[in-house]
Chain A
Amino acid sequence: MGPLTRICGLLGLLLALMTTACTPNLGGENVGWAPVSASFSQVAGEATRVFVVSPMGSDLGDLGVLQGQDLGDDERRVKVRALEDFGSGSPRVVWTYPPLGSGIGLEGAFGPPAVSEELGLVFVGGVDGQLYALNAETGEETQGWKRAVRNDPSVEPQPIVGAPVLAELVNSETGPSTILLVVSEDGNLYAFNAATGEELSWSPFRTGDKIWSTPLVQNGVAYFGSHDHFVYAVDLRDGNQVWRYETGGAVVARPLLMAGKLIIGSFDRKLYALDADDGELEWAFESQNWFWAESVTDGETIFAASMDGYVYALSPQNPPSGEPKEALWRHNMLSPIVSAPALVPLGLVVAAVDGKMRLLSTSPSNLVDGEVISNLPTLEDGEIKAPLVVGAPPNPSLGTELDSLSVIQRYSVFVTGDNGIVRRISVTEGQDKESIWCFDSSIHRQCN
């Protein structure tokens, strides 16, 4: 009896370990967060082109999109989709990359695609370490662009987590040009000529660890963070380091520039305000968890979201000497916030990982918990981690003047769930804050 019991126990142990090992989400696929970007070049009449990198639905073949073709495992991964959005009704899929039925897919993507309206190109950085340069109209790969960012075939490409970034660079010898910045888990910042794909002579710029932080470019200087705890400022003309500042943890957030201050959060639970010129610390604000999301500003207040579930409103001014930085107000979303909030004329749109979305007032408030203008439609069955995209190009004079963009573009946000659900949500004054449309990109169907 004794030995048998022991044997049964050990067998149970083995069985349990096997079961655990086979649990699908453990160390499973790295499909990303279904990031979305929008292009407002009005390529077809009043349409906006929306680019989303989202997973394939397992029943896509059954729904007749592929005339009942059986999709292979490789097809069932991630695709880049271009949607044409007329602002109402369901958007239309213009193209898919790799094409449906091709039997291949991307491994995944975390950063939103970079769209160059001038070049007509869409750049996607993949978890597979490849950079995809696609024709915005057709979705075809651009000839001449190398896929691997690292110019060494003997080295396995490392995942690209931060978003590719386009920037204008004025060179005294060659004149203005558009460059593309790509950060990699190999710890390097790469710079390419966006039109030709040629790598700049100084590229790459090396840091001490992985880079997930999407760079911010201002006046030819790229600001970004690294897992090595440093925030870097790099001159894009020569690739030289302007300054670097050491925080207490990994820096994965995208920085924000405001009135000469670089605002960036770290995994040491602090949000730093650094002098953009020399990297000197102005102030630091501490929360209860990491800062992952990019902060936003309306020009007067900084809105920073933390993984502790709070959105903090902070004044950019330095606190009185010796006193800790305090928040003007904070609002609890009761779920961590990874997705960068979006500013619209009515207020601040915040999305938490659990799919809840709220429109908060950005006006000075006496309420310590902030002021909720409206709860927005939640994203069920999916988690929101990709940055929110405002339904119009970012504009510092947002809400103060109208240009040719339609109202619906100004007063809406795009949000995606990691399951591939894309929503465009209206945040127009005086109207119900509801979905303008909902599209399940994984199965190419309208959703509720």
Chain B
Amino acid sequence: MEFFFLLWNEVIIRPMLNTLMVLYVLCFNNMGLAIIAFTILVRLVTLPLTLKQVRQMRRMGELQPRMKEIQERYSGDRARVSQETMKLYRESGVSPIGCLGPLVVQLPILIGLFRVLIQTLFTKPEDLVDLSQKLYPWITFVPIHSAAPLSDTFLWLKLGEPDPSPIVLPILVAATTFVQQKMTMTPSPDPRQQSSQNMMLWMIPIFLGFFSLQWPSGLPLYWIVSNVIGVGIQYFITGWGPLFPLIPRSAPAASRPTQSAVDDTASEENENDGIRRTNRQNRRRGRRTGAEGARRRPQRGRGRSAK
């Protein structure tokens, strides 16, 4: 257990804390700006994973009609449905847990950030004693040692305490979480799955909004900025998606190259990964880059036809 704590401390907490401290000094001793800069940094570092997740989910979406077919064909035989579904995933190069990657990465970052915010922003003497032991002594190019205790004020917030308003941040947390989730939602052919998905679409933002009532406001700030960046990334890749199915993308011309670049990256990655594709898969890949492929992207296609 001690080894785990040491690992957690040295691999997650200390690097994050020192990065945040450096950003704090570079952002004119403003913790709010430092958190925003930190969020952008985290999203940049996890961008490859985010892109991979988006691609995986889009492929899953493309497979939905065939999954529905399988469910109809083998209705009543759950084992067979499961077997065929897994086979389909395998043939299509889709990992059913692939979309968990960014979440797995985000989880320690979030928990770590929670800890880091508390250690840097709570300015009780005990907290500072702990903080002093987590600063790297070799960081001398930026005076992080002199920066403590940190100033925790940002706009109307004290970042180490819950939002005094007290609803602005929780509402923003809930709203941005909802928007991001809605944009990344993959329609399911299974009505039960669809209904549970719809339930979670509402429940998770409500839960997060509720919990953020109690969180030190630096954490909701991170979450909101992270969601806004996530929404931006999602928009450039898939458009508004299921969020506004009838609204076309405002800059399709600009986004097209981005889209193809993403696809190209995906192809390269898959090839590099050495995934063996069947002829059928390759045929599908070929179609996806052509007109038919564009039509098969349900959200973009719908948006364009409406236009």
Contact = CB atoms under 8 A, between A and B. Distances in A.
A281 interface: no
B118 A26 contact: yes
B197 A21 contact: no
B197 A3 contact: yes
Interface string B182-215: 0001101000010011001000100110010011
A14 B196 contact: no
B302 interface: no
A18 to B, nearest CB: 7
A168 B169 CA distance: 52
Interface string B92-107: 0000110110011011
B149 A250 contact: yes
B182 to A, nearest CB: 13
Mostly, the B contact residues are helix
A100 B216 CA distance: 35
B114 interface: yes
Given A9-B103, A268-B146, A289-B137, A21 B129 contact: no
B124 interface: yes
Interface residues of A, number: 44
A395 to B, nearest CB: 29
Interface residues of B, number: 49
B81 to A, nearest CB: 11
A28 B148 CA distance: 20
A342 interface: no
Contacts of A161: 125
* Max chain A C-beta neighbours (<10 A), residue from B123, B125, B186: B125
Given A2-B57, A2-B60, A336 B115 contact: no
* Max chain A C-beta neighbours (<10 A), residue from B104, B126, B148: B126
B156 to A, nearest CB: 18
A5 interface: yes
Nearest to B188: A3
B100 A9 contact: yes
Given A4-B193, A10-B200, A18-B211, A336 B107 contact: no
Contacts of B132: 289-290, 292, 307, 336
B257 to A, nearest CB: 28
A290 B122 CA distance: 18
Interface string A278-311: 0000000000111010000000000000011000
B75 interface: no
A288 B133 CA distance: 11
Contacts of A212: 125
A249 B148 CA distance: 7
A17 B110 contact: yes
A308 B204 contact: no
Nearest to B56: A2
Contacts of A259: none
Given A13-B107, A14-B208, A227-B149, A336 B114 contact: no
Interface string A381-409: 00001000000000000000000000000
A338 B133 CA distance: 12
Contacts of B160: 27
Contacts of A6: 99-100, 103
A353 B100 CA distance: 41
Contact of B129 (A20, A248, A385): A385
A65 interface: no
A7 interface: yes
B111 interface: yes
B125 A17 contact: no
B146 A21 contact: no
A30 interface: yes
Nearest to B86: A1
Contacts of B164: none
Nearest to A127: B124
* Max chain B C-beta neighbours (<10 A), residue from A14, A27, A227, A308: A27
A54 B132 CA distance: 24
B145 interface: yes
A229 B148 CA distance: 11
A41 B252 CA distance: 86
A395 B45 CA distance: 60
Given A2-B57, A9-B100, A249-B146, A338 B129 contact: yes
8 contacts: A1-B96, A20-B115, A26-B118, A249-B146, A252-B125, A288-B137, A292-B132, A307-B133
Given A27-B118, A33-B126, A385-B126, 17 more contacts: A1-B96, A4-B196, A7-B197, A16-B111, A21-B211, A21-B214, A21-B215, A26-B114, A27-B160, A210-B123, A269-B146, A289-B135, A290-B132, A292-B129, A307-B132, A307-B133, A308-B137
Give 9 nearest A-B pairs by CB, closest first. A249-B146, A9-B103, A268-B146, A2-B60, A307-B132, A1-B96, A288-B137, A248-B146, A3-B197
Interface of A: 1-7, 9-10, 12-14, 16-18, 20-21, 26-27, 30, 33, 110, 161, 210, 212, 227, 229, 248-250, 252, 267-269, 288-290, 292, 307-308, 336, 338, 353, 385
